[in-house]
Every structure is written in C-alpha cells, then in structure tokens.
C-alpha cells in the first residue's frame, strides 16, 4: 500500500508551527546527557530538564518521553525524542520512534537537531517506513489499530530541506518492494508480476520487455522453464530498462529472484517453512522498486533490471531430482534438489545479462539460502563479489542506507563440491564441504560470464517477524535503499 504519511515543511520553529498548524503533537530532539531542547510549549508544570530526569531519559536514539502540552488553543502532546549523536543511523531510528508515537494523529510537528542532508533524509525514511502498513482486510485495516500519522511537518533547522524529498523517495521505493513481496500468492503469479512491471514502466518512464513461455523456450531459458514446469502459471523474464538523458556511460544490470511462491517442488518444504514463501520474490521486488525510483533520484547510470519470475510447485509435470537443465547459453546443470530453484532461474538471467546486455557490472539480489540466515541473522545480507572495489562500494552503500552487508568468501577450494557426474554443475553441494550460502554463490558465479559481479543473499533481512525502528512485520524491502544509494553515488 502506498505510504500514507505526508511530509511538509513546518514553516517556522516547531512549537510555533505546531500552534499555527493545529498539530496534535510536537516532537523536540534530545541529545545524550540528556540535553534538553531550548524551547518548550507554554504551561508545562516543570522544566524539560526535570521531565527528562523524571523518566530517566538518556537521549538515546529511539527513546521518547511524552507529556501533555498546550499547543495553540488546544491540548496536545510534547514528545522529547532521543537522537544520540544525530548520525543518519541515529536519526533513522529516531524518525521511526516519532512516527510510531504519532499514529492516529492528523499532524505532528518535528524539530530536528543540526544535522547533515543525509541525517534529514534518514529521519524521513525512518518516519515514513515505520508507518508502513499492508492489509487486505474488508475494513481497510481500521480494526487493526491506529492509522499512520497523517502529516509530518519538519522544522529542519540548518539542514538542507531538499534532502527530505530524497528520504521520501527512498521510503516509497522500499514500500513498493514491501507491497510486492507481501502480496499473497493467491494472485501473485509470474504474469501478475509482469503486469506490475508494466504499471511501473508507464509510471517511471522505463522500457519494458517481457519474455513469455514461447519466447523463453525459443531463447533457451531452461532454468526458468524447468522451475516453472510444475505450475499452471508459466514463468516470465521481466526486463526493465532505464537510460537517463545525461547518462554517464556506465551500465549496471540488476538481477532479482522472482519466485512468486516456493513450495520446494517435489523436494517439498514442511508446511511451516512455506508460510512465508510468498516473499520468495523479495529480490525481484527490490529490483523493481529500484527501477521505479531511478528517475526521481537523478541516477545518471544506465540500469537494466531483470526479474526471473516463476512459481515452484509440485505436480506431474514438475522438475525431478536427477533432471538436467540446459541454461541460457547452453551450460548444463543437474538438479539434485528441486528446492534449490532460485539459483536455476538466476542462472538464466545472469547468463543472458552477461552475453547480451554488455554490462559494466552485474548485481543479483535473492532470498537464496537458509544458510545465509543462519550465518548472519536477520539484519545483515550476505555479500559475495568478484571485485574488491565493487564489494567495498556496496558495503558502504548498505551502511549508509541502513541495510548492512557482510562480505563472505568465494572459496575456490569449495568449487569441486558442485561438480556433477552428468552435467557442467550440480545445483547443490555434494561433497560434504558445507557452507550452503557459499556454494550457491559459487554456482551463480559460473553464469556471470566473467563480468564484475556481486551476489546479495538476503534470506535473513528480507523478512521480519515484528516491528523494530523502520522495519515492519513481513517483507522489509531490504536491498532497495542500498542499491539506490550505490547507484546514485558518483563512483557507482
């Protein structure tokens, strides 16, 4: 669902603006110490220092102390919110805390500490994403709790107010990725995803090409066709192209895993493991969201987004363990586990990108392995790369965007583990090396054509079991902000 909170300039100091706008709440920043803000609404029964001391406040990011306050002619709420050192990460968490406290209100005015443009952008991201909701309830979610904050009015101080637009654009992209991944697979088959790509292309000025079952067969996309063979909803390869007028001469290709539901195929998952598998296309959702935001963020690099979309289902026509798949370009793979299907569709897309699109760099993003989740938990994505500079740039972008990556090794000594007796490679490790996420990355490297390539395994951070800071329960949209931050950087 689109973000419902509107962001505007407060037009003056926070307390005065709250009175003139008829706001129901005003939020003022608190530094560690804590250091109370200099201004306060009239009529408080105590000083702000006393109020902070009463609650044992420390000024830490995400901390909120509340008190009733006179705002103009009405009674509202004063929120004293911690900002830590006012770094972007601190303000992202602070914005989320303020917005959550503002649920159910029409207008909240927020004063900000002196910060950078990146800090203001992060505050807006946190506030907007914390208010994200996805529901298909018959009452539009009205019975599920308070509605998101209506208007967030920013008293920006010395910060560049234009940065708020950037934060809003990043939040909208992340919300789009969440929407796509949260959509139930009742409707979300590969053709549904292609239709959403058509909507996106029309909205964002992108060029769209969709390969259906016939074109995939003629082109030799055996991975997509094999994975999708068990479902009555055939696969699609979605290609979105962005070429800015002032292009800088570079060409990046983003590849997203678009498994719209993953039952495991004949290697059937346990029931509990299937319950979140509508989000197994979160990588593809992130790629689509990035493509939709490139123009708004003024990205000068030419970007092509590929989403390899299929539904992995068991049936009489489904792929079997022991089958051999011929991927785009002719390289063959022995299927030893039909639940290792994401790498099969990505292999087609990677091989196509390397052979036909002439990219300077390829980055794929996928909810690929449970092993990455075991290794890094729910907040870090696993990063594999064939180029140190690319790895460093993506890591820095993830840190700046609040979507951290941890570089993992491409262990060449493990490569024999995916040798096959009958094909070029096997789709799972078969020699006892372990390292399931590493093995999946080594498999994908086989199809990247020697190009500069990075693989983001986001099986952990792509989904959340609860709300925390800007994260909301369900799909998180992980990858959208970090890839946009990377692409918008001058040295991307």
Check 58, 70, 250, 269 and give the catalytic one. Answer: 269
CB 430 within 8 A of CB 414: no
| HSE, side-chain direction, 13 A CA sphere, residue 208 | 21
Write out the DSSP string of 292-357: HHTTTTT--SEEEEEEEEEEE--STTS--TT-EEE-TTS-EEE-S-TT--HHHHHHHHHHHHHHHS
Phi, psi for 140 (deg, rounded to 5): 60, 25
Per-residue CA distances from 46 to 58, 233, 243 (Å): 18, 65, 58
Check 343, 373, 445, 481 and give the catalytic one. Answer: 343
The answer to whether the bond into 442 is cis (omega within 30° of 0) is: no
Q: Is 269 a catalytic residue?
A: yes
Q: CA 311, CA 187: separation in Å to the nearest integer?
A: 12
CB 193 within 8 A of CB 240: no
Neighbours of 219 (CB within 10 A): 17
Whose structure tokens read 């082109």?
219
Neighbours of 70 (CB within 10 A): 15
Non-local (6+) Cβ contacts of 91 within 8 A are 61, 83, 112, 113, 115, 119, 120, 122, 123, 126
224: enclosing H helix or E strand:
helix 222-227
Q: Is 451 helix (H, G, I), strand (E, B) or coil?
A: coil
List helix spans (H) across 4-147: 14-21, 48-54, 88-101, 117-130
Q: Is 257 a catalytic residue?
A: no
Q: Which residues are known catalytic residues?
A: 269, 343
């Amino acid at each position: 669902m689109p973000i419902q909170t509107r962001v505007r300039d407060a037009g003056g100091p926070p307390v005065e603006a709250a009175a003139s706008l008829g706001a129901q709440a005003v939020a003022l920043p608190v530094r560690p110490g804590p250091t109370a803000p200099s201004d306060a609404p009239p009529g408080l029964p105590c000083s702000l220092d006393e109020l902070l001391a009463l609650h044992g406040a420390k000024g830490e990011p995400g901390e909120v102390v509340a008190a009733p306050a006179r705002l103009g002619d009405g009674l509202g709420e004063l929120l004293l919110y911690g900002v830590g050192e006012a770094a972007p990460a601190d303000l992202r968490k602070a914005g989320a805390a303020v917005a959550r406290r503002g649920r159910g209100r029409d207008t909240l005015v927020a004063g900000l500490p002196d910060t950078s443009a990146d800090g203001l952008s992060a505050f807006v991201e946190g506030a907007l994403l914390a208010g994200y909701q996805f529901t298909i309830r018959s009452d539009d979610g009205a019975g599920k709790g308070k509605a998101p904050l209506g208007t967030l009015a920013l008293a920006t101080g010395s910060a560049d107010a234009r940065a708020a637009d950037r934060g809003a654009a990043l939040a909208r992209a992340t919300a789009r990725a969440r929407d796509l991944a949260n959509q139930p697979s009742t409707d979300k088959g590969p053709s549904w995803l292609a239709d959403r790509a058509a909507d996106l292309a029309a909205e964002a000025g992108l060029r769209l090409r969709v390969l259906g079952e016939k074109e995939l067969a003629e082109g030799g996309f055996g991975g997509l066709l094999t994975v999708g063979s068990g479902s009555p909803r055939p696969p699609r390869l979605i290609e979105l192209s962005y070429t800015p007028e002032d292009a800088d001469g570079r060409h990046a290709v983003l590849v997203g895993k678009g498994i719209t539901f993953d039952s495991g195929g004949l290697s059937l998952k346990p029931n509990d493991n299937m319950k979140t598998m509508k989000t197994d296309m979160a990588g593809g959702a992130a790629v689509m969201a990035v493509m939709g935001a490139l123009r708004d963020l003024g990205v000068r690099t030419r970007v092509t987004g590929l989403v390899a979309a299929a539904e992995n289902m068991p049936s009489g026509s489904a792929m079997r363990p022991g089958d051999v798949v011929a991927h785009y370009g002719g390289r063959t793979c022995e299927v030893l586990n039909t639940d290792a299907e994401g790498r099969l569709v990505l292999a087609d897309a990677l091989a196509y990108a390397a052979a036909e699109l002439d990219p300077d760099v390829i980055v794929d993003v996928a909810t690929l392995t449970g092993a990455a989740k075991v290794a890094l938990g729910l907040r870090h994505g696993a990063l594999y790369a064939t180029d140190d500079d690319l790895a460093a740039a993506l890591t820095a972008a993830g840190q700046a965007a609040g979507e951290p990556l941890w570089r993992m090794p491409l262990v060449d000594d493990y490569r024999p583990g995916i040798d096959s007796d009958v094909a070029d490679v096997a789709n799972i490790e078969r020699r006892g090396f372990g390292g399931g996420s590493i093995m999946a990355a080594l498999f994908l490297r086989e199809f990247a054509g020697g190009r500069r390539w990075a693989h983001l395994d986001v099986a952990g951070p792509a989904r959340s079991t609860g709300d925390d800071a800007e994260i909301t329960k369900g799909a998180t949209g992980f990858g959208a902000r970090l890839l946009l931050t990377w692409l918008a950087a001058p040295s991307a």
